[in-house]
Homo-oligomer: A and B are copies of this chain.
Amino acid sequence: MSKLPRRESFGYQVNHLGRLFARALDRKIQPLGVSTGQMPTLLALFEQDGLSQKELIARVQVEQPTLANTLNRMERDGLVQRESDDQDKRSSRFFLTEKARDIQSPLIASARAINALAVTGFAEQEQQQLLDLLTRMIGNLQTGGHT
């Protein structure tokens, strides 16, 4: 066939949906002084504070230069603070500021709200199924990706 219906392309739909998620979340958390790209890192630090860049990369699915830039913006915005590591002078550890800890609850509530909005009208079983299918698809593309 010489054409490709975008409505039936997973790549197209997933990309579109991803941007809808980002925009919806952005509008919610902007008043808190946080942007979407910072969320994964914040969530990771909420679970365990004082991680290094390397440790964060293992938790956040993003390339190293992307995280480095994100951390710079987060430091600029007063969300994290870096302390150079005594053991390894190449590395530093990132700690949440009070400002970041203060907004932990509303931030997580915002993320939950967007997720809840997204699954409006979904049966519990459908949510589980969707999560399962997405996870399998991620697995397929990760395996096929890194040659």
Binding site for B on A (CB under 8 A): 1-4, 6-25, 40, 43-44, 46-47, 59, 61, 104-105, 108, 111-112, 114-115, 117-122, 126, 129-131, 133-138, 140-142, 144-145
Contact = CB atoms under 8 A, between A and B. Distances in A.
Given A17-B134, A130-B130, A11 B23 contact: no
B3 A108 contact: yes
A104 B3 CA distance: 9
Given A108-B3, A117-B140, A140-B120, A21 B17 contact: no
B137 A119 contact: yes
Greatest chain B CB density within 10 A among A11, A25, A46, A104 is at A11
A130 B122 CA distance: 13
A4 B133 contact: no
Given A16-B61, A20-B141, A118-B140, A46 B11 contact: no
